[in-house]
Amino acid sequence: MVETLLTAGAAVVSAGIVYTMAAARVVKQYERGVVFRLGRLRAAVRGPGFTLVLPFVDRLHKVNMQIVTMPVPAQEGITRDNVTVRVDAVVYFQVVDPAEALVKVEDYRFAVSQTAQTSLRSIIGKSDLDDLLASREKLNEGLELMIDSPAIGWGVQIDRVEIKDVSLPETMKRSMARQAEADRERRARVINADAELQASKKLSEAAKEMADTPAALQLRLLQTVVAVAAEKNSTLVLPFPVELLRFLERAAPPPAAPAPAPAPAAAPVPPVEQAVVEKGTVEQAAVERGPDAAPPSIAPPRPAPHGDRRPADDGERLREPRSEVAPSEVWE
């Protein structure tokens, strides 16, 4: 009898141990347990620690309550000012209601990821390029509100959303670099012009002071020479006042006027051309005197002296030049 009781007791203890091992569950500190009994949700959410469920009847689902960091893949879109950009972001969220996260949505992680991608593309289309580059805090707040609106019904709370990087095309980068360079050059020119204005005012005041004391100008000249010679240069620059140069210019004698160049000698006129010229002169004089006037008498050509004649054959006579009319014998 005692042996039977001992055997039954051992069997009960063994069954209890097996049941306890099958029903025992451990929930970690950052987790919460949601129990489904025969497919129905139990209202009580199991806290961290040791807990028991009915074997083969209850199903315990553990939900992580930590803040999840989820990167959003880079999304390519066109901004409001027609610039193609690629923007990637990161979302920080956590589950605040484990029962809603398991019941309302199939996979809350995937749902949050897709919502973040669509919201990011929407933000890109509504913003300008300057807003994406300069006003990221404002865009982060708007993106957080867009993702948090549907996620709050899933038992998920969006902690914050941040835009990580904005990738621009190479042409846009070069254009922005040229714009920044031009802006810096403009500011440099404005600063240089302001410095010149201030320096001119100071120089004007210094000139007035030196005008009252001429020795100050000489002392300043000597200081400049000392400053130039201090560098051990082989060339020494000595500035001269402009008034001294003007005085020397007025004292210099005026330059002598250059002698006029002699007129070029007239080219000799050939005999035949001279006769033609004289003939044209006669005709012009006749026209000026009128048709009724008597034509001027032209003296016949004088014969050549006998001493200049030479016997020549017929061929030479044919080649003999025509007699010339001297200009003095045209008019009597």
Question: What pLDDT, on the 0 to 100 scale, is given for residue 42?
Answer: 86
Per 3-state DSSP, the chain is made up of helix, strand and coil in percentages (nearest 5) of: 50, 20, 30
With cut-offs at 50, 70 and 90, classify the pLDDT of residue 194.
very high
Percent of the chain with pLDDT over 90: 18
Please indicate, yes or no, whether the overall pTM of this predicted structure exceeds 0.75: no
Q: Give mean pLDDT, residues 57-67.
A: 89
Give the integer Cα–Cα distance in Å for 224 and 236: 11
Tally of CB atoms within 10 A around 230: 8
274 pLDDT higher than 50: no
| Strands of the chain, DSSP E | 24-27, 31-37, 40-46, 49-52, 58-64, 68-78, 84-95, 156-167
262 pLDDT higher than 90: no
DSSP per position, 87-141: EEEEEEEEES-HHHHHHT-S-HHHHHHHHHHHHHHHHHHHS-HHHHHH-HHHHHH
191 pLDDT higher than 90: yes
Q: With H, G, I as helix, E, B as strand and everything else as coil, classify residue 35.
A: strand
Question: What pLDDT, on the 0 to 100 scale, is given for residue 240?
Answer: 66
Apex 271 CA angle, 320 and 315, nearest 5: 10
Determine the distance from the C-alpha atom of residue 112 to the mean position of all C-alpha atoms in its chain, rounded to a whole number: 41
Cα distances (angstroms) measured from residue 174 to each of 6, 16, 165, 214, 216: 90, 76, 18, 57, 54
Question: What pLDDT, on the 0 to 100 scale, is given for residue 117?
Answer: 92
Question: What pLDDT, on the 0 to 100 scale, is given for residue 239?
Answer: 64
Question: 52-66, 115-129, 217-231 — which is least confidently predicted?
Answer: 217-231
Give the integer Cα–Cα distance in Å for 90 and 110: 14
- Of residues 17 and 288, more confidently modeled: 17
According to the per-residue pLDDT averaged within each range, which of 60-74, 279-293, 315-329 is highest?
60-74
Nearest to 226 by CA among 215, 214, 239: 239
For the chain, the average pLDDT equals 77
Q: Give mean pLDDT, residues 282-308.
A: 48
Question: What pLDDT, on the 0 to 100 scale, is given for residue 156?
Answer: 92
64 pLDDT higher than 70: yes
pLDDT tens digits for range 121-145 = 998 888 888 888 888 888 888 888 8
Structure tokens at 115: 């919502």
Give the integer Cα–Cα distance in Å for 194 and 226: 30
pLDDT tens digits for range 201-216 = 998 888 888 888 877 8
